[in-house]
Amino acid sequence: MIRTAKPGSGFFLSVTIKAITNPRAVMAAQNNADWYAMMWDIRGLRYLRDAHGFRAIDPPPPYHSWVTAIQGAPIAQLIAPLLDRPGFGVKDASGQFDLSDLALRRLISASWLWHPPDAGAETHGWEQITTPAALARWEVAWRDSSPADQRQFPDAILAREDVSLWGRKAPQGYDAGVIANLSEDCVGLSNLFGTKARPAATALCAGFGGGLPLVGYEWCDDLTTALASGWKSTGDLAVWVKPDESCAPHGTG
């Protein structure tokens, strides 16, 4: 049993965390926190990245939370100083906390995913995104499925050795895409879009990982598609936001 204090009161949130946490789910959550750190780095924004996960100092870009808390982290204490920030959201990597007593609502419930490093699929027609012009075309296609009112991926992402983007070529640019982000023990697959794109995207990310397993997270129909293509569910997660927030934080993963 973990008991966490509600800020400014004697009230405690109590929740029973599963006795055994799947290490693959922890791996995925740590990779997701690495993704967050990367997204702040390419914008020159400030943050904290430690064993508890990720906490923003400067406001998040679209589809990202202020906090992503690793399994076992003292989530209420971590988010207490940030609850009054505009657009506050938190990703609970355990999916076990009820944060409604902190005036938050659950936006999504999702599953951490894992895939072995051996992933073979036809990748003909896909290309790595390596230039600002290609990245601009890629983001136009990505935005069709994840609309944002500002650019999500600045050109600085192309200089990152721990990140790779791919797009499936189409007459007007790209009709599918994916991003891989590398951690010490795994590679994350995120921002996947396009019809029947997951098998090829999985193979591309596996190649980028050089023998490391793949991780990520999905929910709803995308989760069903992932599971049907060989990905395994390894644990739960949840995203909580203020009641007036409606956009799901995006990216792992």
H runs (alpha helix) in 86-245? 132-143, 198-209, 220-228
Model confidence at 9, in pLDDT bands (50, 70, 90)?
very low
* Average pLDDT value for the chain: 89
Model confidence at 16, in pLDDT bands (50, 70, 90)?
very low
Contact indicator for 130, 138 with CB cutoff of 8 Å: no
Quote the pLDDT of residue 144.
79
Q: What is the sign of the dihedral through the CA atoms of 240, 246, 252 and 253? A: positive
Model confidence at 15, in pLDDT bands (50, 70, 90)?
very low
The model's pLDDT over 78-126, given as tens digits with 9 standing for 90+, comes to 999 999 999 999 999 999 999 999 999 999 999 999 999 988 899 999 9
The answer on pLDDT for 207 being more than 80 is yes
DSSP at 200? H
**What is the C-alpha to C-alpha distance for residues 45 and 129, in angstroms, rounded to an integer?**
24
Contact indicator for 249, 152 with CB cutoff of 8 Å: no
Distances (CA, A) of 99 to 8, 56, 86, 156: 15, 19, 17, 35
For range 1-14, the mean pLDDT: 39
Token code pair at residue 222: 């995308």
Quote the pLDDT of residue 150.
74
- The phi and psi torsions of 184 (rounded to 5 degrees) equal -65, -35
| HEC letters along 71-101 | CCCCHHHHHHHHCCCCCCEEEECCCCCCCHH
- Tell me the residue ranges of DSSP E strands in the chain: 2-5, 12-15, 47-50, 53-56, 67-69, 89-92, 105-115, 126-128, 163-170, 173-182, 187-193, 214-218, 232-241
- Torsion, Cα 196 200 202 206, to 10 degrees, reads 180
The answer on pLDDT for 5 being more than 90 is no
Domains of the chain in sequence order: 2-113+236-241 (no CATH), 126-234 (3.40.630.30)
Quote the pLDDT of residue 165.
98
The answer on pLDDT for 154 being more than 60 is yes
pTM strictly above 0.85: yes
What region, left, alpha or beta, does residue 12 occupy, with left being phi > 0 and alpha being psi -120 to 50 degrees? beta
- The phi and psi torsions of 114 (rounded to 5 degrees) equal -140, 145
